[in-house]
Structure 1
Amino acid sequence: MNAPLAERLRPETLDDYISQTHLVGPQGPLRIQLKQGLISSMIFWGPPGTGKTTLANIVATQSGRPFYTLSAINSGVKDIREVIDKAKQSGGLFTTKNPILFIDEIHRFSKSQQDSLLQAVEKGWVTLIGATTENPSFEVIPALLSRCQVYILKAFEKTDLEQLLHRAIATDKALAEKNIKLEETAALLRLSGGDGRKLLNIFELLVNTFEGDDIVITDDIVLAKIQNNTARYDKTGEQHYDIISAFIKSIRGSDPNAAVYYLARMIEGGEDVKFIARRLLILASEDIGNANPTALVIANNTFQAVSAIGYPESRITLSQCTTYLACSPKSNSAYEAIGKAQQLVRATGDLSVPLGIRNAPTKLMKELGYGEDYKYAHSYANNFAEQEFLPDEIKNTKLYEPGANAREQSDRNFLKQRWKTKYGY
């Protein structure tokens, strides 16, 4: 049986690899490591179909190392130990030819399974390459994460996807025998969702629906032949992003009915429970913030709860949090404040901290004036001392603007009492 088109087109060298130029380009870290022959343990984090497995294969092939692979979906601690034992026999300790152990879907490993990798990685029995679609900060244990470089792979851009299609037509033997004319590609690219593998699978399916070898592809033809087959909720495709967007915007717009509807769409589609909870956690700060600080507590407790109980019971906890956040007063003042502050830092660089509020742990620092002019707020009336805490170059800059809601009105009144002349409240 013929391999799928995506497998037939899998590149074997970095020069044939499409996309991820920040990793494999002339100054990309992976290309540099391969040139030097020193490969560190790493984790590839990115959406499906962005070439994580392909990169691992290329690294192993071009470095000339033994290559072992496991899937976290169907492997246990016993499988890990067996591979590590084989790797120890085929390589030395911290040599340029240490075996590579590739683990796909590494985020699916439990803590104990990840723990079983630590010694092998630390002692150099294997060079670990993990692939994950989930944020490794949440899904990979800190001890293992600290021993790995994390490289982020991005969804394919339009030019990458078009290049992939043209390469398929030009180089694949089965497609080259047909007279394929790509008149329009927008529908194909949209249905792919930036997933190169999905694009090639859809394209191959589309080509096989034609009778004869003269094939003209337009957006209307793609939608007529393919869209009905891809309309189901896809956790990695376009509907994934459309529905989570609608979910967040419904909560932000204070519509609990729409919010819980889109929540149900995700639950029925099998969406990762922790993905939903993380989005609620982010929203609690970004869109509610200081208008209702309890929202962050509720969202954090929700994340902890659903991580412990999973489906189906977690649907109730998610519903409670969703409706609570939707009905909460809204403010993005904290989000706006950090955005302004980061822009200011990028524009002004590393400005000197005023001497009066610097740390003075040694006698010399005290003699140099570190901390000398610091005014301890609690020693003054109303626990407030008039002192400038920003560097001189940006003094009197206002970054936080309290929102127009009851909770933040108290912040505004508080600041008004103290900084009327400074901020003009």
Structure 2
Amino acid sequence: MKNPAFANLIPDQNGMFGVYGGEAENSELKSAMNEVREAFYHIIQDDLFNEEMTRLRKTYIGRPSPIYFAKNLSERIGGAKIYLKREDLNHTGAHKINHCIGEVLLAKKMGKKKILAETGAGQHGVALATVCALMGMACEIHMGQVDIEKERPNVNKMKLLGCKIVPVTSGKATLKEAVDSAFSAYLDDMQNNFFAIGSVVGPAPYPEMVQYFQSVIGREASAQFLEMTNEQPTIVAACVGGGSNALGLFSGFLSDENVKLVGVEAAGKGLDSGEHAATLTAGKFGTMHGFKCLYLQEEDGTPMDAHSIASGLDYPGVGPQHCYLRDAQRVEYHSITDDECIEAFLTLSKYEGIIPALESSHAIAWAAKEAKNLSSKESILVNLSGRGDKDIDFVLHKVGL
């Protein structure tokens, strides 16, 4: 059954999804964000822009990414069939390039000189550096020192692509601090810089804009799954940090009430340990990084340090659309621990010959647990949002291989 209430998940004129989201409060920053929003709304109506996006998606990214039936995994687990939306096969190895191409094309249209961004696992950084190399734009990526050491393959890729990497050593030296550092650099020269946020977070228009560029995942998946199986999946699942890959996939199924949507957060060392990134489970309402959302907070309201074995999920907040969808009970949110994530990483590698990113492994782990509770007539479509090349050395060291 179709529910038109979720057909178009768009914000109001103030960038709000219910009580979440919103515009920047600082007047100078708000003016800069309004410039970005106006340019975004204009460019997506431009035929030349849309033709260029279509061409690059096909010839550069390699879209459409396929859906794959994980037969070996499904038979090993029993119960529901598990399918994978193979975003790991995109150029640069993850979903991030979908919005990076859109944002860099927009920045060029606006006459900006340099792209600034943060990265956690490095997938956003690599994708952005790749597109900047393609389009002749200067690129500066801020990355926590902990993540630099953990994700060395992606760091080396960014260097080869001509990107300037700024190590961030403050706080936990992970994703939250990288966001703070990159945003501070942006504020120093908003006239010439374009801040390319890597998820559906931040002040308007970024949550809407990143969702728009990532929604290609869901549009493809809905049509592909129907063609492949003559029905839609029982459940659609994706990992959630900031939330871009999940929202991209969910976009194709939001209005179909017969499809259950599940976001999988990082439970880290356990929800009772205090070392996790399960924002939608344990977060509280407030404002961080220029937008209203649920986020992990200290008693005084400052963001807590989040933890996940997956660098791309250890952000203490989450996109406003996810907060809204949780409250509306359209999406369920669950969590997976570090140990469960590692097990799924190893299992998919061994039995399907597909090495998943640690981020994506959270969704795979949840699907494997849930499949056992379902019949073989039911199905779970998982967004394999990235490949795990970047994580191999870390995982092998972690498990002593």
TM-score, normalised by the number of residues in structure 1: 0.27
- The structure that is strand-richer by fraction is 2
Higher relative CO (Cα under 8 Å, sequence separation at least 6) belongs to: 2
Max radius of gyration: which structure? 1
